[in-house]
Chains A and B, each alone.
Chain A
């Protein structure tokens, strides 16, 4: 009886590893594209060629051209720079900021914890994207402001995780031992607390990359993010949506790019979560 069980577990573990490698490589390819996008484009993404406007996909223009005759493939590739980089920047800022607030609250406790956590409750009470639209609307359009708006709505989630993890760490004997060894607050936070809580926070932020990418593209689609003619997937879709029935490829190309990258980052996040949690891996 015991042999088959062992075999099943082995296979399971291997798939997680394989998945991790596959999605890791796919994500790296996406990052590679966005870093070297200028060198990968077949045409100049901003060069207008009105004779060739609204051309359907063909061997010369794989994704066709838009209403100014700009090559869609080049624009989608260049758009990856704005979309992927802004998303990673956004996730990075939210993770660091939220973790800082959470660790501070968990460690300090007392009234400051209560005040900050009630504020985070207030943020969590609003529906996310609607609140982000309001913030971005008040700040005015532009990619920077869209990022600020999304940071404002996303930090409480990370603050909550970091706080609860810090509270759990605080009660462990090794943290008491660290206090007894005469370590100051900063040393304890950076040497003992952060290394022990970084795992779950990292998994959450990996899972959030896909969502953040969609929300950022969503804000751009609504005209609250990147402004044309900057190539950004959300604003490109919004730009061409009136022509959806006659030249569908102009909308579909960036849509497809969003779909693929959100999918890859979501699956990567899922896989990292499975990999990081040996309990769910064993089953």
Chain B
């Protein structure tokens, strides 16, 4: 294996609350992702999944631990340095419509990262068209507003936005949870297609609470419970032979 794309070491987040004891949302978790790998992170709501990704994307400052992206420690980056990091790491959010500014067109949203990296207006427009087509939308979606398109179409546009800058790491934070089952399938098919096209240039961290989805989509799965990784391994292995009582409970509740 070549160099790890993402290495998370002892990552911890403690929320201190007035008058109440501190709450540890994420408790010393460590994992590594390799190029081209697709890792699933599953756990019930409140288990700290979103806190983990918010820390990896540096939208939230970790209390302890380090995040190493492509060999570079980004844990203490800020300002200009941090903005550069976002060219290598992008995220797809849980709520497609809310993840686009209601006052901007989808095209503006998709092209924003390109414009910020010095692309001209013309180049950006052409690239946005290409990205939309890659994600199965026609070019005229660029001039629409988020409330004018359906959730599934919006999520496709969100994937187009995330891939615009050609990141090496794509984080999907429950990217399919708010969509209905058929649309969910389409989005997974799209992500699968992109994975094949990009090969080892794209790694995906897939946050989900649906273990069946993770089984068909990911190479490896991490089970998060109360801020700790309680189990990890290949999805088939974990499902067939769960070691931790919580994982067993999770699997039982689906089957």
Residues of A within 8 A of B (CB): 172-184, 187, 191-192, 195-196
By the criterion of a CB under 8 Å from any partner CB, how many residues of chain B are at the interface? Answer: 27
How close is B34's CB to chain A, nearest CB, in angstroms?
23
Q: Which residues of B contact A180 (CB under 8 A)?
A: 57, 59, 86, 89-91, 113
Query: Would A177 and B93 count as touching, CB distance under 8 A?
Result: yes
Q: Which residues of B contact A192 (CB under 8 A)?
A: 101, 103-104
Query: Would B101 and A181 count as touching, CB distance under 8 A?
Result: no
Query: Would A181 and B161 count as touching, CB distance under 8 A?
Result: yes
Q: Which residues of B contact A175 (CB under 8 A)?
A: 101
Contact of B87 with A by CB under 8 A:
yes
Complex alpha-carbon distance, A196 and B127, angstroms: 27
Contact of B203 with A by CB under 8 A:
no
Partner of A174, one of B90, B91, B100: B100
Complex alpha-carbon distance, A256 and B95, angstroms: 55
Residues of B within 8 A of A (CB): 57, 59, 83-84, 86-87, 89-91, 93-95, 98-104, 109, 112-113, 116-117, 158, 161, 165
Nearest 5 Cβ contacts at the A-B interface: A181-B113, A173-B99, A182-B83, A181-B112, A182-B116
How close is B32's CB to chain A, nearest CB, in angstroms?
22
Query: Would B91 and A191 count as touching, CB distance under 8 A?
Result: no
21 A-B pairs whose Cβ atoms sit less than 8 Å apart in the complex? A174-B98, A174-B99, A174-B100, A174-B109, A176-B91, A177-B109, A178-B101, A178-B112, A179-B59, A179-B86, A180-B86, A180-B113, A181-B86, A181-B165, A182-B84, A182-B165, A184-B83, A184-B116, A187-B116, A192-B104, A195-B101
Closest to B158 in A: A177
Complex alpha-carbon distance, A192 and B116, angstroms: 14
Complex alpha-carbon distance, A172 and B90, angstroms: 17
Query: Would B91 and A172 count as touching, CB distance under 8 A?
Result: no
